[in-house]
Amino acid sequence: MTDFSDQCILVTGSTRGIGYAIAERLLDRGATVGIHGRSAEHVADAAGKLQPHGDRVIAIDADFSDPCGGADAVARFLEEAGRIDGLVNNAGAGKARAFRAMTMEAWEETMRVNLGAAMTASREAYVAMRKQGTGSIVNIASIAGHRAAGWMGADYGASKAGLVSMTRSLALEAGRFGIRVNAVSPGFVETDMSSIIPDDMREKLTIPLGRFGSPDDVAGPVVFLLSADATYITGEILHVNGGLL
C-alpha cells in the first residue's frame, strides 16, 4: 500500500458515502485529511468517528451552494495543514427531475454545487500546488456525464459532463507544473442518492457484475490516482461502474 504519511489531502463532501470512504482510506495510509461538509454538525460527527486518527483530521464546513465555498474550503485547509498535496472534488448534489419540469433555478443550483464549487476549489488548490511544484486533483464525475442516466435530471448529467471537460482542460494546463488532474466516473453506487431507485428499475439496469457498487469500490481507484503509483497518469477518466457503460 502506498504510504501517504507526508501528504495533506482535502476531500470535499466527505461526511458520508463515497467521500467518507475515500477519507478513511487515506487516513489509514497516514495522510492528513480535510473532512468537509455543508453542516458543521455533520462534519463534527464524521470527524468524531475518525478520531482514532487524531490530529490528522481537519474539519472544514463550507456551503457549496455558493460556488465561492469551494475556494474557501481549500483556503481554510491550507491555513491549517500548511500545504495541499491532493484535492478530491467529491461534493455534489442532484435529484431525479423530468426535463419538462426543469427550471432555471434548479439548473443553476446544480451547476453551482457540482461544477462551480469544484472549479473554485480546483483553482485555489492549483495556485498552491504550482508554488509547491507538485499535486494531484481527482474529480468525482459520474456515468451520467457520459450517457443519459435515465433517472437523474439533465442538470445533473450536464454538470458531470462539464466536470469531465474541466478535468481534461486543467490537466493540459497544469501538467508542466508537475500537477496531475484526473477523474473517476462511478456508475450506480449504494449511497443516499441512489437509495430512491425502485427495485424494478434496479433489475432493468443489467449491470454485468450483478450489483451496485459500494463507496469502497470507488475509494480504491481514487486513492490509486492520488498515489505515487499513478505519477504518469493525467487527464484520464477512470470508469467504475461494474461494466454498465
* Angle, helices 117-132/68-81, rounded to nearest 10 degrees: 30
How many Cα neighbours within 13 Å face the side chain of 146?
A: 17
156 is catalytic: yes
- The string over 162-177, giving b where at least 16 C-beta atoms fall within 10 Å of a residue's C-beta and e elsewhere, is bbbebbeebbeebeee
Rounded Cα gap, residues 100 and 129, in angstroms: 43
Q: Do the beta carbons of residue 180 and residue 232 sit within 8 Å?
A: no
Integer Cα distance of 147 and 185 in angstroms: 11
Grid cell listed for 180: 496531475
State the Cα–Cα distance between residues 136 and 125, nearest whole angstrom.
9
Residue with cell 454498465: 244
Q: Which of 20, 126, 156, 232 is catalytic?
A: 156
Catalytic center residues: 156
